[in-house]
Amino acid sequence: MLLIEFSSVFLGCAIASIMMGDVAHAAADVKADSSGIQFCVFDPIGSGETRRAMQDYSLAMLKKGHTIQIKSYVDERVAVEDFRTGQCDGVLATGLRTRPFLPFSAALDSVGVSSIVRKGKIDLPASYEVVNQFVRIVSSPKARELVVSGTYELAGIMPLGAVYPFVNDRAINTLEKAAGKRVAAFDYDKAEAQLILRAGATPVAANITNFATMFNNGLVDVIMAPAMVYKPLELFRGIGTKGGVSRFPVLILTGQAIIRSAKFGKSYGQDSREYFASQFETAMGIVAQGDKQIPEKLWIDSTPRDNERYVLMMRQGRMLMAEKGLYDKKGLRLLKKIRCSIQPEASECSEQTEDW
């Protein structure tokens, strides 16, 4: 395993994979209704299954008395910027992008925050259960104070899958061996470059349009991505005959819907959160298919000792980023409670860490 010291990389295609099949590029705007409040949706492929999925969402909201208008974007940055500047009153994007609006819920997309290791082995089902419990908690009517930040409100969370390190050389199989390697880094995740440097690696500026190409052309040695983009982004080219995929998940990525509360009906946020929560198992079924895309021979397994070591290193990295104000302390505290409810025997559960 490598680079467990830092979170994330571009995962726009993950939203596409959760919500759509193989479709061609289409127009930027997809309208579900001729009137209503505008909801910006990141959709890197442009139409097809995403359009149908969001129309289903629109219809579910309409049954509750809410009318929205869907606008899709092939560039996540533009979708989020349009939301920030008020051109949209709702947005669906990755938690890495929505962190400035609602840091509490974006804590779910922090490095290692959902990773469960039992007796030296990754327990992926238990790791996803951390996400599931967090989603259920924030979807409860009693959690409103947690999901509102100023003018913004969480309107739902969907799991997009575990994020794994893809490497061009299987020799990069420990954190120490990642030192000096080139790692794709994105400017919108302020913690990322710091954590890459902390791991002794070299961050290389990339964006959602070129990170896979950079890996495939040998311009970077490491990228982070969910398994489901292995085939669509042809990452086998960057892996070549020497590379592989670490089985240790750096984080579990989520898609998060954020709204401006004042622009929506009083019950919209709660109705929307409950709808997203009801789709969790469906989304997980699609996520599970993603891991099957990667040939078994490409997976790189860490030793039990390294798995335990990486969990500690990720925790130390999270705490450092939280102290710098880049991760939300309240969100991290709740997530520790969830992890300890699932794995009470873990050493962290008897330590005063992430207990701000």
Domain boundary assignment for the chain: 12-350
pLDDT tens-place string over residues 132-185: 999 999 999 999 999 999 999 999 999 989 999 999 999 999 888 999 999 998
pTM over 0.75: yes
CATH superfamily of 12-350: Bacterial extracellular solute-binding protein, family 7 (3.40.190.170)
Burial class (CB in 10 A: 0-12, 13-18, 19+), 34: exposed
CA 227 to chain centre: 12
Which of 239, 125, 211, 222 shows the shortest CA–CA distance to 174? 222
R_g of the chain computed on alpha carbons: 19
The predicted structure's pLDDT at residue 50: 61
**Spans of the chain, pLDDT less than 50:** 1-34
Question: Is the separation of the CB atoms in 104 and 147 below 8 Å?
Answer: yes
Count the Cβ atoms, other than its own, within 10 Å of residue 42.
25
How distant is the alpha carbon of residue 75 from its chain centre? 16
pLDDT at 291: 83
What pLDDT, in 10s, does the model give residues 185-201?
877 777 777 888 888 89
| DSSP H helical ranges for the chain | 12-19, 49-63, 76-84, 95-98, 103-106, 124-138, 190-198, 211-216, 236-239, 268-278, 280-291, 304-323, 329-342
| pLDDT tens, residue by residue, 321-337 | 999 999 999 999 999 99
Report residue 224 CA to chain centroid gap. Answer: 11
Q: Which pLDDT belongs to residue 262?
A: 94
**Which token pair is 290?**
């993603």
Query: How far apart are alpha carbons 242 and 176 in whole angstroms?
Result: 18
